Amino acid sequence: MGAYCNVDVSLPPFYGVASSQDPRFCKHVHDNVHGNIYIDPLSLNFIDTEQFQRLRELKQLGFTNMVYPGAMHSRFEHSLGVYWLAGQCVEKLNTYQGLELGIDRFDIQTVKLAGLLHDVGHGPFSHLFERQFLPQVISGCDWSHEQMSVDMVDYMVDEHRIDVDSQMIKRVKDMILASSDFAPPRSSSEKSFLYDIVANGRNGIDVDKFDYIPRDCRACGLGCNFEFQRLLESMWVLDDEICFRAKDYLTIHKMFATRADLYRTVYTHPKVKAMELMIVDALVHANSYLEISSSIHDPSQYWKLDDTIVKTIETSPSQELKEARELILRIRRRNLYQFCNEYPVPKDMLDNFKKVTAQDIVCSQDYESNEKFTIPDDRVSHLLPTSYQDMIVKVYSKKPELVQAISEAFENFQLKTYGIKTQVHSTPQKKRRYNSTV
């Protein structure tokens, strides 16, 4: 597929080295997923800051370790992994198509920095900070961790006087935002394929997933048969887009299927979601006293916020934090919100999905229907060859004695709203009734 070209490894110190495997100018780190990682001097200037080191205190999977004890890995090691894979990706393209694509050392360094810094703006406890906590304490909040990552990069450069080209930093920030709603427009002269390496908003195949999918599987003790190395070796740029060989479609299928399995078995595990709901409630109760949300637009204060906020609440004697402390104590003692029921939203309703509220379920308690119905295939799962994503609505009760009533009301809500109802998991009361008849 065209001529091969050699990689120029004679680089000025500012850019590090073209080959990230050359140990002469790099710091060596051993990663439990990718093996030896070599960090170039410019990237090390960012890593050796308190803002980047903060990522050590942000668990990649939040409170998932309370169900999967091995899930203790942090966004720090994930960011190093994405840095490494981003470098591997652009360097392989440079090896195979460098002359054709016009890839230079500036591009290589830019892509590596984008991979390193793409998550530096994340809040505590994975995504629940921005998706569940902030909407409850700030009306109409449109904050995103991608935008905060961009703001944090600017702050780090200024605060630590990092000697880096301003145009390089601009492109790094654009690459971080590439798959978000805040993605800036690109000019026709830009090498658009470079923006799909770290965060691919076009088809979702990017090195971010190449890292977190095998890393999360390993941490949670799950098997992973997705071989991202195969995709790194076979990718090719055509019409300014990164493409893959048609015969590698099964590898790509495995990537999305493995991610879907992680969502079902790990990320949305019923007890994991119960604890996340409780943490959100605890943060909401503590917000007015600790002013947790007050720093989300100020990088100089935001970098001080991490997962240790739970320990701050838990050990504080303040009366204002009593409700938040009690919720965290319930998590420690495994006295969790009780799972009631769940259902997958029908595929044809996804685009116009209306968020289910507690009032919707309460108002469905007395709804009845004697009509028979058939459960179609897509009510079991949407994970067929045409789709790799489900939307699952889970309902929890803060009080154990209300589980049965809420579960039944939720079934009625499904029947009233969609004309069918499903009970995927039996409530404790139903299990006891069943066991007593056996």
Instruction: Specify the pLDDT at position 19.
Output: 47
Please list the alpha-helical segments (H only) found in 102-243.
105-117, 128, 134-137, 145-159, 166-176, 207-219, 228-234
In terms of Cα–Cα distance, which of 200, 196, 209, 221 is closest to 260? Answer: 209
Instruction: Specify the pLDDT at position 12.
Output: 38
| Residue 384 scores a pLDDT above 80 | no
Single out the catalytic residue among 145, 269, 285, 382: 145
How far is Cα 392 from Cα 203, in angstroms, rounded to an integer? 22
Percent of the chain with pLDDT over 90: 64
Hey, what long-range contacts does 417-424 have (CB within 8 A, 24 or more apart)? Answer: 418/346, 418/349, 419/373, 420/373, 420/375, 420/379, 421/343, 422/343, 422/375, 422/379, 423/341, 424/341, 424/342, 424/343
Domain boundary pick from 241, 267, 293: 267
pTM confidence score: 0.81
Residue 330 resides in a domain: no
Instruction: Specify the pLDDT at position 4.
Output: 34
Domain boundary pick from 215, 242, 267: 267
Helix count and strand count (H, E) for the chain? 18, 6
Instruction: Specify the pLDDT at position 410.
Output: 85
| Residue 356 scores a pLDDT above 70 | yes
Query: Which CATH number goes with the domain that contains 194?
Result: 1.10.3210.10
| Residue 121 scores a pLDDT above 60 | yes
Domain boundary pick from 207, 233, 267: 267
Which residues lie closer than 8 Å to 234 by C-beta, 6 or more apart? 244, 245, 248
Q: What is the 3-state secondary structure (H, E, C) of 34-72?
A: CEEEEECHHHHHHHCCHHHHHHHHCECCHHHHHCCCCCC
How far is Cα 281 from Cα 323, in angstroms, rounded to an integer? 9
Which is more confidently placed, 223 or 185? 223
How far is Cα 271 from Cα 336, in angstroms, rounded to an integer? 8
Residue 309 resides in a domain: no
Residue 213 resides in a domain: yes
Indicate whether 133 and 246 sit together in one domain.
Answer: yes
In terms of Cα–Cα distance, which of 117, 82, 107, 120 is closest to 206? Answer: 82
Indicate whether 352 and 254 sit together in one domain.
Answer: no
How far is Cα 207 from Cα 93, in angstroms, rounded to an integer? 14
What average pLDDT does range 1-21 have in this prediction?
39
How far is Cα 10 from Cα 365, in angstroms, rounded to an integer? 72
How far is Cα 407 from Cα 425, in angstroms, rounded to an integer? 10
Residue 428 resides in a domain: yes
| Phi, psi for residue 373 in degrees, rounded to 5 | -150, 155
pLDDT band per the 50, 70, 90 thresholds, residue 411: confident
How far is Cα 245 from Cα 308, in angstroms, rounded to an integer? 45
Ramachandran category for residue 98: left, alpha or beta (phi over 0 → left; psi -120 to 50 → alpha): alpha
What is the count of structural domains for the chain? 2
pLDDT, tens only, 179-217: 877 777 766 667 999 999 999 988 899 999 999 999 999
Instruction: Specify the pLDDT at position 331.
Output: 96
In terms of Cα–Cα distance, which of 220, 217, 221, 219 is closest to 255? Answer: 217
Domain carrying residue 100: 13-267
| Residue 430 scores a pLDDT above 80 | no
| Residue 381 scores a pLDDT above 60 | no
pLDDT band per the 50, 70, 90 thresholds, residue 345: confident
Residue 296 resides in a domain: no
Residue 203 resides in a domain: yes
Instruction: Specify the pLDDT at position 26.
Output: 80
Indicate whether 343 and 257 sit together in one domain.
Answer: no
pLDDT, tens only, 284-322: 999 999 999 999 999 999 999 999 999 999 999 999 999
Indicate whether 263 and 344 sit together in one domain.
Answer: no
What average pLDDT does range 395-412 have in this prediction?
88
Indicate whether 248 and 348 sit together in one domain.
Answer: no
Which is more confidently placed, 22 or 296? 296
Residue 320 resides in a domain: no
| Residue 6 scores a pLDDT above 50 | no
| Residue 343 scores a pLDDT above 90 | no
145 included as an active-site residue: yes
Residue 98 resides in a domain: yes
| Residue 383 scores a pLDDT above 60 | no
Indicate whether 262 and 380 sit together in one domain.
Answer: no
Instruction: Specify the pLDDT at position 284.
Output: 97
Instruction: Specify the pLDDT at position 360.
Output: 84
How far is Cα 109 from Cα 86, in angstroms, rounded to an integer? 10
Q: State whether residue 241 is helix, strand or coil.
A: strand
Q: Report which DSSP code applies to 209.
A: H
pLDDT, tens only, 67-109: 999 999 999 999 999 999 999 999 999 999 989 999 999 999 9
